């Protein structure tokens, strides 16, 4: 067993959020760079928000990006169970200890009373905070109320007046005043612990040595620290990761674009790109190398390379990285990736030959930012007939008639080429040689040819198009353009 242990502890409330992925990734980077173990724990203490199948999809997407766990609900381990609702009796034991020590207390306040209290506090421009109404109930009162069947929660007792020092690995020492802290709920009225309690108990029991979590937890850090102190447990190191922001500057939200990793997967972003991109959001390698694989990141990863300020999610950089990784892929791999998208658009079917598909992908791959783009980028290559404005055939100073004439000449030239010699390289050589011999300008012939084949203002070059279309289809298209 490894000495160093880190964990990712999501709650199964839906698809994995980009921000959560970043937390998972950084935990994983740090764990593996330290040669430690990475543990998955499911924090499902909020049953109201739980979404069926969420854990499964979480596991699926995490494995898709390449995060591998050493322990977790799906593979077991020596510190299970790894699902919090299966650990309720454990929390019961520890809350009892807290109650006995006097560091936690029963609270019988109704939600109506709490609501009213907060309302008044806000009217008086005070921070909403529990008024400790139940803090000093006598033992007899408590017994009687419980016997009476009154529902209750258990709250953490904050010290009267002191400074609480916590230490974040990235920010250093942070000091809070205990009077600013709320007696928050540890055990809910249904007997299930809150995050604030279960998380600490589990991290301790699972022997977690480094906690990586989002910046949004910084505010509850002192309460967590207090819990460790009252239990007499040694605290793990805490690393609060800076938040990821929208282009506008706010917290990443659904309103301003895609926030689920799943969204990016369906659009055809590659895991390599997503991992590389997320890594650069708040971390920087010493040597300025920014194109990095998972293993290179783990190799180079260290806490010193991490920043503390929030980072804006920049889709353009993701696109760049994704394009880069697409270009790295083999044609075979790419065609497997592209086929479902083209099938969905009805451009290919089961009968479409891989060899045909691969030609088309080969001539388009360098233009792809995401796999999804393949359809809109290549639809004209699959269709039987292409429709375009006749004048598009005209190159610069040429007239329409001249352009068509040029096409006629090219048509004759191409007609001569044998099926077996119909390759990109051959076509290019034959046409260029002919242009040179006859002292013709490239653009006068190549532009009309390209448009006749594609019907597009922008496309791959005419030789690539002709090759991908095949001789028969190419000649048909040129012929149609002439007439």
Q: Annotated active-site positions, please?
A: 254
| Of the candidates 440, 431, 441, the residue with the CA atom closest to the CA atom of residue 410 | 431
Stretch that binds RNA, among 73-81, 87-95, 194-202, 350-358 (CB under 7 A): 194-202
| Alpha-carbon dihedral 91, 95, 97, 99, rounded to 10 degrees | -170
Region 262-281 residues binding RNA, contact defined as CB under 7 A: 280-281
| Residue 212: Cβ within 10 Å count | 26
Q: Does residue 245 bind RNA (CB under 7 A)? A: yes
Q: Which two tokens stand for residue 6?
A: 């880190």
Based on CB atoms, which residue is closest to RNA, 328 or 415? 328
72 lines the binding site for RNA (CB under 7 A) = no
Nearer to RNA, 243 or 337 (CB): 243
CB of 297 to RNA, least distance (A): 13
Task: Provide the CA 132 distance to its chain's centre, in angstroms.
Answer: 41
Distance in Å, CB of 414 to RNA, minimum = 14
Site string for RNA, 388-407 (x = CB under 7 A): -------x------------
- Going residue by residue from 3 to 42, which x/- string records binding to RNA, judged by CB under 7 A? ------xxx-x-----------------------------
- Indicate the pairing of strand 153-156 with strand 185-187: antiparallel
Give the nearest distance from C-beta 3 to RNA in angstroms.
Answer: 25
Our CB check for RNA shows the closer of 353 and 396 to be 396
List for the chain the helix, strand, coil content (%; round to 5): 50, 10, 35
Tell me whether residue 375 or residue 459 sits nearer to RNA (CB atom): 459
Count the neighbouring beta carbons within 10 Å of the beta carbon of residue 352.
Answer: 15
Among candidate residues 264, 273, 261, the one with its CA nearest the CA of residue 326? 273
SS (HEC) of 283-314: ECCCCCCCCCCHHHHHHHCCHHHECCCCEECC
**Residues within window 349-368 making contact with RNA, judged by CB under 7 A:** 366-367
Closest approach of RNA to the CB of residue 433, in Å:
10
Q: Considering the complex, state which of residue 161 and residue 349 has its C-beta at the smaller distance from RNA.
A: 161
Give per-residue burial for 271-281: e unless 16+ CB within 10 Å, then b: bbbbbbbbbbb
| Nearer Cβ to RNA (340/443) | 443
Give residues with Cβ within 8 angstroms of 379, minimum separation 6. 345, 347
Rounded distance between C-alpha atoms, residue 326 and residue 17, angstroms: 23
Regarding 413 and contact with RNA (CB under 7 A), the answer is no
| DSSP code at position 83 | B
CB of 167 to RNA, least distance (A): 11
118 binds RNA (CB under 7 A): yes
Q: Which of 462, 466, 468, 469 contacts RNA by CB under 7 A?
A: 462
Q: Is 125 in the site for RNA (CB under 7 A)?
A: yes
**DSSP state letter for 6:** E
User: C-alpha distances in angstroms, 383 versus 58, 140, 220, 453, 465?
Assistant: 39, 83, 59, 11, 13
Residues 279-318 interacting with RNA (rule: CB under 7 A):
280-282, 284, 288, 290, 305, 307-312, 314, 316-317
In the complex with RNA, which residue's Cβ is closer, 116 or 180? Answer: 180
Nearest-approach distance from CB 62 to RNA, in angstroms? 16
420 binds RNA (CB under 7 A): no
Min dist. Cβ of residue 79 to RNA (A): 18
- Residue 2 to residues 7, 31, 51, 204, 325, Cα–Cα distance (Å): 13, 10, 33, 15, 34
> According to CB under 7 A, which residues from 168 to 187 bind RNA?
171, 174-177, 180, 182, 184-185
Of positions 19, 27, 242, 268, contacts RNA by CB under 7 A: 242
Report the site for RNA in 423-442 (rule: CB under 7 A): 428, 432, 442
Distance CA 114, CA 97 (A): 26
234: which DSSP letter? P
The phi-psi region of residue 313 (left if phi > 0; otherwise alpha if psi is between -120 and 50; otherwise beta) is beta
How many residues sit in the footprint of RNA (CB under 7 A)? 88
Q: How far is the CB of 351 from RNA (least distance, A)?
A: 29
**Applying CB under 7 A, does 194 fall inside the site for RNA?**
yes
Closest to RNA by CB, 65 vs 306, is 306
Site map 246..265 versus RNA, x via CB under 7 A: ---xxx--------------
The footprint of RNA on residues 197-236 (CB under 7 A) is 199, 215-220
Say whether residue 373 binds RNA (CB under 7 A).
Answer: no
- Nearest Cα to Cα of residue 202 among 37, 52, 42, 16: 42
Name the residue nearer to RNA (CB basis): 192 or 475: 192
Judged by CB under 7 A, the residue of 45, 55, 322, 375 near RNA is: 45
Residue 452 CB, nearest approach to RNA (Å): 11
Task: Record the tokens describing residue 132, joined without a space.
Answer: 């400790």
Task: Say how many residues make up the chain.
Answer: 483
Contact 261, 273 (CB under 8 A): no
x/- binding map, residues 126-145, to RNA, per CB under 7 A?
Answer: -xxxx---------------
């Amino acid at each position: 067993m490894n000495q160093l242990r880190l964990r990712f502890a999501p709650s199964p409330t839906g698809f994995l959020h980009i921000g959560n992925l970043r937390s998972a990734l950084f935990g994983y980077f740090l764990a593996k760079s330290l040669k430690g173990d990475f543990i998955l724990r499911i924090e499902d203490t909020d049953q109201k928000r739980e979404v069926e199948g969420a854990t499964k999809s979480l596991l699926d997407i995490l494995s898709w990006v390449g995060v591998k766990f050493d322990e977790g609900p799906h593979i077991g381990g020596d510190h299970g169970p790894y699902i919090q609702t299966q650990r309720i009796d454990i929390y019961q034991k520890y809350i009892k200890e807290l109650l006995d020590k006097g560091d936690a207390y029963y609270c019988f306040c109704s939600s109506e009373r709490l609501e009213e209290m907060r309302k008044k506090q806000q009217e008086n421009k005070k921070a909403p905070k529990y008024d400790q109404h139940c803090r000093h109930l006598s033992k007899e009162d408590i017994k009687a109320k419980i016997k009476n069947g009154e529902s209750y929660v258990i709250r953490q007792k904050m010290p009267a007046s002191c400074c609480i020092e916590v230490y974040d690995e990235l920010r250093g020492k942070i000091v809070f005043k205990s009077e600013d802290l709320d007696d928050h709920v540890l055990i809910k009225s249904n007997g299930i612990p809150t995050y604030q309690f279960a998380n600490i108990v589990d991290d301790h029991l699972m022997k977690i040595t480094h906690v990586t979590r989002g910046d949004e937890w910084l505010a509850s850090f002192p309460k967590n620290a207090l819990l460790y102190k009252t239990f007499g447990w040694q605290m793990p190191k805490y690393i609060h990761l800076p938040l990821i922001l929208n282009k506008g500057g706010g917290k990443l939200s659904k309103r301003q674009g895609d926030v689920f990793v799943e969204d990016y997967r369906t659009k055809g972003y590659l895991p390599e790109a997503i991992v590389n991109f997320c890594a650069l959001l708040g971390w920087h390698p010493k040597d300025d190398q920014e194109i990095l694989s998972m293993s290179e990141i783990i190799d180079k990863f260290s806490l010193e390379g991490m920043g503390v300020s929030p980072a804006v999610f920049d889709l353009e950089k993701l696109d760049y990285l994704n394009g880069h990784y697409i270009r790295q892929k083999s044609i075979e791999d790419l065609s497997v990736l592209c086929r479902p998208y083209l099938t969905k658009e009805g451009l290919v079917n089961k009968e479409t030959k891989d060899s045909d598909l691969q030609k088309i992908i080969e001539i388009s791959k360098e233009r792809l930012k995401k796999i999804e783009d393949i359809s809109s980028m290549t639809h004209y290559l699959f269709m039987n007939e292409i429709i375009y404005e006749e004048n598009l055939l005209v190159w610069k100073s040429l007239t329409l008639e001249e352009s068509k004439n040029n096409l006629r000449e090219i048509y004759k030239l191409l007609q001569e080429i044998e099926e077996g010699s119909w390759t990109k390289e051959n076509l290019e050589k034959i046409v260029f040689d002919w242009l040179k011999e006859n002292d013709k300008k490239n653009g006068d012939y190549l532009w009309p040819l390209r448009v006749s084949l594609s019907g597009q203002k922008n496309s791959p070059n005419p030789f690539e198009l002709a090759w991908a279309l095949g001789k028969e289809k190419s000649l048909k298209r040129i012929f149609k353009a002439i007439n």
